Chains A and B, each alone.
Chain A
Amino acid sequence: MKITNARHLGSVAEGMMENFTALFGAQADPPPPPTALGFGPGKPPPPPPPPPGGGPGTAPPPTAATAPPGTDKSGAGCGPFYLMRELPGSTELTGSTNLITHYNLEQAYNKFCGKKVKEKLSNFLPDLPGMIDLPGSHDNSSLRSLIEKPPILSSSFNPITGTMLAGFRLHTGPLPEQCRLMHIQPPKKKNKHKHKQSRTQDPVPPGKPS
């Protein structure tokens, strides 16, 4: 998009100012000069606008072309219309395009949103042993705790030597009941169409999608 510098409309500006003032009546005071507001180097204040019907022959107010270079472009009096500023640059990609199509995510969208995604973690990791559907906070296995309080590690993994292995001589016999939890696994839903589908796909249950 070509950006027009409204300043070079210069001499056209006076004629336009007339129209503006004609609509809103002759102003008693001209707009304050920039120095009065502390903006930039001073310029002489424009003379009072001519009365309506004065015509282009009367003394023109200073044109926008004489505005000091440091003048804020978005400031008043830079063009024929008060507060008229340059349009912001337009980008090709806006919210009016379908961004899912734009970024080639249609397949992903259909995969995740087209069919029902199973709720439980064990559906995502069916082969993982133990009760993984329990919240991590219950058995101190949350990922959040790993991030918030990372374990202190040494720089390398060293094999356990014979002396250290002596510490792992266990008592014979079964464990007490409370330590046996890891053998309990959630009931695995058998995939009837296993031979037809690839391993990574979830089975599509009958019924309408959510």
Chain B
Amino acid sequence: MAEKDHLEEHLEKFVENIRQLGIIVSDFQPSSQAGLNQKLNFIVTGLQDIDKCRQQLHDITVPLEVFEYIDQGRNPQLYTKECLERALAKNEQVKGKIDTMKKFKSLLIQELSKVFPEDMAKYRSIRGEDHPPS
């Protein structure tokens, strides 16, 4: 998305500005004063530019859990990875339950039909209208 690239560009410029400011300040010379003042005002304009990007990106939502990863110094892509892995595992688990339930149902109907043949025939005819046995 172009707006995201735009924001990224602004952020990179902002960070670079701060970095250069840090270099100036770490060993300050009087001749650097003008440059320092310029960089300080770049901070303000940089923040203005970043703020302007907000409107175009107001519909982007970020899950709070990603922040935990970032705060621990971990790659946020690990969050995505773990989400996908958890989703797949849960998907498999639920599929297993569904398959087991289906098997149980057919087995139950089978066994009940042996013990209560007439009742089960009636049951099947009722259910057969709206729910084909699977």
Chain A residues within CB distance 8 Å of chain B:
1-4, 6, 9, 16, 19-20, 23, 79-81, 84, 86-87, 94-96, 98-100, 105, 108-109, 112-113, 117-124, 127-129, 132-137, 142-144, 147, 157-160, 165, 168-175, 179-180, 182-183
Residue contact A100 to B77, C-beta cutoff 8 Å = no
Q: Which of A79, A123, A127, A172 contacts B126 (CB 8 A)?
A: A79
Residue contact B123 to A81, C-beta cutoff 8 Å = yes
Q: Which of the listed residues A4, A121, A144 has the most CB atoms from chain B within 10 Å of its own CB?
A: A121
Min CB–CB distance B116 → chain A (angstroms): 7
Q: Mark B11-31, 1 if CB is under 8 A from A, else 0.
A: 010010001001101111110
Chain B residue at minimum C-beta to C-beta distance from A110: B84
The 9 residue pairs across chains A and B that have the minimum distance between CB atoms: A95-B94, A136-B71, A133-B73, A112-B81, A143-B67, A142-B71, A170-B28, A124-B75, A174-B27
Min CB–CB distance A176 → chain B (angstroms): 10
Residue contact A165 to B73, C-beta cutoff 8 Å = no
CA distance A84 to B47 in the complex (A): 66
CA distance A23 to B33 in the complex (A): 100
When distances are taken between beta carbons in the complex, the residues of chain B under 8 Å from A136 are 70-73
Provide the main secondary structure of the chain B interface: helix
B48-97 contacts to A, CB under 8 A, are 48, 51, 64, 67-68, 70-78, 80-81, 84-85, 87-88, 90-91, 93-95, 97
Chain A residue at minimum C-beta to C-beta distance from B22: A182
Chain B residues within CB distance 8 Å of chain A:
12, 15, 19, 22-23, 25-30, 33, 36-37, 40-41, 44-45, 47-48, 51, 64, 67-68, 70-78, 80-81, 84-85, 87-88, 90-91, 93-95, 97-99, 116, 118-119, 122-123, 126-127, 129-131
Residue contact A123 to B75, C-beta cutoff 8 Å = yes
Residue contact A95 to B119, C-beta cutoff 8 Å = no
Chain A residue at minimum C-beta to C-beta distance from B118: A19
Min CB–CB distance A172 → chain B (angstroms): 6
When distances are taken between beta carbons in the complex, the residues of chain B under 8 Å from A96 are 94-95, 98-99
Take A100-B84, A165-B40 as given contacts and tell me if A173 and B28 are in contact as well, using a CB distance cutoff of 8 Å. yes
When distances are taken between beta carbons in the complex, the residues of chain B under 8 Å from A165 are 37, 40
Chain B residue at minimum C-beta to C-beta distance from A161: B41
Residue contact B80 to A160, C-beta cutoff 8 Å = no
When distances are taken between beta carbons in the complex, the residues of chain A under 8 Å from B36 are 168, 170
Residue contact A98 to B71, C-beta cutoff 8 Å = no
Q: Which of A16, A127, A128 contacts B122 (CB 8 A)?
A: A16
When distances are taken between beta carbons in the complex, the residues of chain B under 8 Å from A100 are 84, 87-88, 91
Q: Which of the listed residues B75, B78, B80, B118 has the most CB atoms from chain A within 10 Å of its own CB?
A: B75
Q: Which of B78, B94, B95 contacts A119 (CB 8 A)?
A: B78
Residue contact A95 to B95, C-beta cutoff 8 Å = yes
Residue contact A144 to B68, C-beta cutoff 8 Å = yes
Q: Which of B28, B44, B71 contacts A172 (CB 8 A)?
A: B28
